[in-house]
Amino acid sequence: MVKIINGKEISNSLIEKFKKNVDNLKSEYNICPALAVIIVGDNPASKVYVNNKKKVCEKIGIKSYEFTLPTNTTESELLKLIYGLNRREDINGILVQLPLPSHINEKKIIENINPIKDVDAFNEINIGKIMTGNFNFLPCTPAGIVYLLKESNIKIEGKHCVIIGRSNIVGKPLAMLMLHNDATVTICHSKTKNLKEICKTADILIAAIGKPAFISCDVIKPGAVVVDVGINRDINGHICGDVDFEKVKDIASFITPVPGGVGPMTIAMLMKNTITATLLQKNI
Ligand code: GUN
């Protein structure tokens, strides 16, 4: 019988814990962690994500500052805002919601966030630290996935983990994290040959593709753990993942639903990183 991993519940219990940590920081040190969230343009999905992040900040007692900029904001205007936030002692985390409008160089923006405030762990210093295992922050989605696996008592050591997707945000750092946890890791992508055959060898299959119901039961090894990172809309406009949940649940041992699986964990880990950034900046 498949177990459905309830990311919402696991995230909620983390949020409770973080609220206590923040209450403690306030009462013992008179410090309130603060996160600056920058959104450029009017991408509807980005607006929803940013709103959700703000709501969870409120729940925990993290102060959030939203900077909503018009689509025609120039790269230098955005950089100027970031330089200012880098200097502000009352701001502990800086998050620039991606994607940015195409006239802005995302890489340049990310690299100009002070690494100690880079709560997404997207810049090269933080990514480099993940390679060696000497990190302060982990990117939120990969960290959330590993937390879900551990919380569900799924053994990672020695398992063959197949990750579909090689993005800097999910696939690549997740591969490194699974490796740190002693998995044997295969990364697949759009040019991979024999994708189906490789997926069938996965003990843990993680789909981060961005295509609705791309993964069906014909590529799943019986008893595999299936983690769905996708957030897509189906033809009826409903949120769905990269995995055909109804078909795959009959063959997997564990599966994450969409919504309510990996998504809530990403936000929980962002909160964790914001608290960690505060502690680092205040030398606590
Ligand atoms: N866009 C989609 N996911 C993310 C994320 O985790 N962080 C940021 N900054 N932008 C995103």
Q: What would the pLDDT profile of 174-211 be if each residue is shown by its tens digit?
A: 999 999 999 999 999 999 999 999 999 999 999 999 99
221 CA → ligand 1 middle, Å: 31
**Cβ < 6 Å from ligand 1: which residues?**
95-98, 120, 140-141, 169, 266
Q: Is 59 exposed, middle or buried (0-12, 13-18, 19+ CB in 10 A)?
A: middle
pLDDT at 135: 95
Which ranges in the chain are annotated with CATH 3.40.50.10860?
30-115
194 CA → ligand 1 middle, Å: 30
Class of domain 30-115 as given by CATH? alpha beta
Q: Which ligand 1 atom minimizes the distance to the CA of 266?
A: 6
Catalytic residues: 53, 97, 120
pLDDT at 183: 98
Quick: pLDDT tens for 1-51. 999 999 999 999 999 999 999 999 999 999 999 999 999 999 999 999 999
Q: Which of 117, 169, 265 to mutate to test the pocket of ligand 1 (most atoms within 8 A of CB)?
A: 169
169 CA → ligand 1 middle, Å: 8
pLDDT at 180: 97
Residue whose pair of structure tokens reads 């302060």 in the numeric block: 136
Q: Which ligand 1 atom minimizes the distance to the CA of 139?
A: 6
Quick: pLDDT tens for 111-128. 999 999 999 999 999 999
Quick: pLDDT tens for 260-278. 999 999 999 999 999 999 9
Q: Which ligand 1 atom minimizes the distance to the CA of 46?
A: 1
* Contact by Cβ (8 Å): 34, 92: yes
Quick: pLDDT tens for 58-106. 999 999 999 999 999 999 999 999 999 999 999 999 999 999 999 999 9
CATH 3.40.50.720 for domain 140-262: yes
Average pLDDT of the residues in 146-162:
98
Which ranges in the chain are annotated with CATH 3.40.50.720?
140-262
97 CA → ligand 1 middle, Å: 5
Would the pTM of this model clear 0.95, i.e. be above it? yes
Nearest CA to ligand 1 atom 3: 98
